[in-house]
């Protein structure tokens, strides 16, 4: 469990995500739920595998959009590690609404919990090294804020939210400017208020980035030897971030080389939904 569950995106964003999903699923009306009696009922939410939970705000919003009077009693917090067979929550509401909201609510919870679970595995792998795990912009379309929230639930940190909140100079920008130093100078002139991250391809560019100044240097696809040289050369002057070809088999070794951050696209794109189910009736036991 995290010391403090992370703040969720604004409620308006959560409700907008849910509204789109409900329209997609229900359309002109749930013709199958209409077969059920429209009476008060109870249900329980079951997690069928070990997981880190994330996505409660979206789950709640999906049910409340169809039944504002629904009561949801959570037994776990965001960021909690749970084992297979855990009852996560119980619900009290109208039977038709519980069934109509089921798939949308579970889709959000299973996807965001998957992101949190994968993130937690990387965070655990680098524990004690001082290296922080970052996400990337390789998120599901339309769910950027949701997945980045789930990364925080898993104990990771967020990279830039989008193309608007951080200037990030890569090969094409440096080539267009004529040099790394010129690209840094242009970025500072145009966006002095924004953080600047510079991606370098070799140790010579690293030296140039250190001299030019920025908030972080990204060493992309460096060999292990180059990476250790980069840590020695940077000597803590500017934080170093590793990206590219990172998985659980190598992440610990990379962190032990002394880098400050490791960014991993797989936190949000290489995920497998957590197995959840919502069942009408009282929970077992």
The CATH number assigned to the domain holding 47 equals 3.90.1170.20
Q: Would you say residue 162 has pLDDT above 70? A: yes
182: domain CATH number is 3.20.20.70
Residue tagged active-site, from 220, 229, 256, 275: 220
In a shared domain, residues 118 and 70: yes
Q: Would you say residue 47 has pLDDT above 70? A: yes
Which pLDDT tens digit goes with each residue over 226-243?
999 999 999 999 999 999
138 in active site: yes
- Please give the structure tokens belonging to residue 258: 């002394």
Domain count, the chain: 2
Residue tagged active-site, from 41, 60, 67, 199: 199
How much of the chain exceeds pLDDT 70, in percent?
99
Residue tagged active-site, from 75, 144, 170, 228: 170
Which pLDDT score, from 0 to 100, does residue 16 have?
A: 97
pTM: 0.95
In a shared domain, residues 62 and 90: yes
Q: Would you say residue 117 has pLDDT above 90? A: yes
Average pLDDT, the chain: 96
Exposure on the CB side of residue 90, measured as CA atoms within 13 A: 7
Which pLDDT score, from 0 to 100, does residue 285 have?
A: 78
pLDDT grade for 21, boundaries at 50, 70 and 90: very high
- Packing angle between helix 56-66 and helix 95-125, nearest 10 degrees? 170
Mean pLDDT of 133-161: 97
48 in active site: no
Question: Residue 113: which domain range?
Answer: 11-123+271-280
In a shared domain, residues 69 and 38: yes
The CA–CA distances, whole Å, from 231 to 139, 156, 262 equal 29, 22, 13
Which pLDDT score, from 0 to 100, does residue 1 have?
A: 64
Residue 181 lies in a domain: yes
Which pLDDT score, from 0 to 100, does residue 37 have?
A: 86
Residue 285 lies in a domain: no
């Amino acid at each position: 469990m995290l010391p403090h569950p992370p703040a969720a995106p604004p409620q308006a964003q959560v409700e907008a995500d849910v509204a789109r999903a409900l329209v997609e699923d229900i359309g002109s009306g749930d013709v199958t739920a209409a077969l059920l009696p429209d009476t008060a009922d109870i249900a329980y939410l079951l997690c069928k595998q070990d997981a880190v939970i994330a996505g409660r705000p979206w789950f709640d919003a999906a049910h409340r959009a169809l039944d504002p009077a629904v009561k949801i009693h959570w037994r776990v917090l965001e960021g909690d590690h749970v084992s297979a067979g855990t009852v996560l929550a119980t619900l009290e509401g109208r039977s038709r609404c519980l069934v109509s909201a089921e798939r949308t609510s579970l889709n959000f919870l299973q996807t965001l919990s998957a992101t949190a679970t994968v993130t937690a595995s990387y965070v655990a792998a680098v524990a004690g090294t001082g290296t922080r795990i970052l996400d990337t912009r390789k998120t599901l379309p339309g769910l950027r804020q949701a997945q980045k929230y789930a990364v925080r639930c898993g104990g990771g940190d967020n990279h830039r939210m989008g193309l608007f909140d951080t200037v990030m100079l890569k090969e094409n920008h440096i080539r267009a400017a004529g040099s790394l130093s010129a690209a840094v100078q242009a970025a500072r002139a145009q966006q002095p208020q924004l953080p600047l991250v510079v991606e370098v391809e070799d140790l010579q560019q690293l030296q140039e980035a250190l001299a030019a100044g920025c908030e972080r240097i990204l060493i992309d696809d460096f060999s292990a030897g180059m990476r250790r040289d980069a840590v020695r050369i940077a000597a803590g002057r500017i934080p170093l971030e590793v990206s590219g070809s990172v998985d659980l088999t190598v992440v610990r070794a990379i962190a032990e080389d002394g880098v400050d951050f490791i960014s991993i696209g797989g936190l949000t794109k290489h995920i497998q939904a957590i197995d959840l189910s919502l069942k009408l009736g009282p929970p077992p036991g």
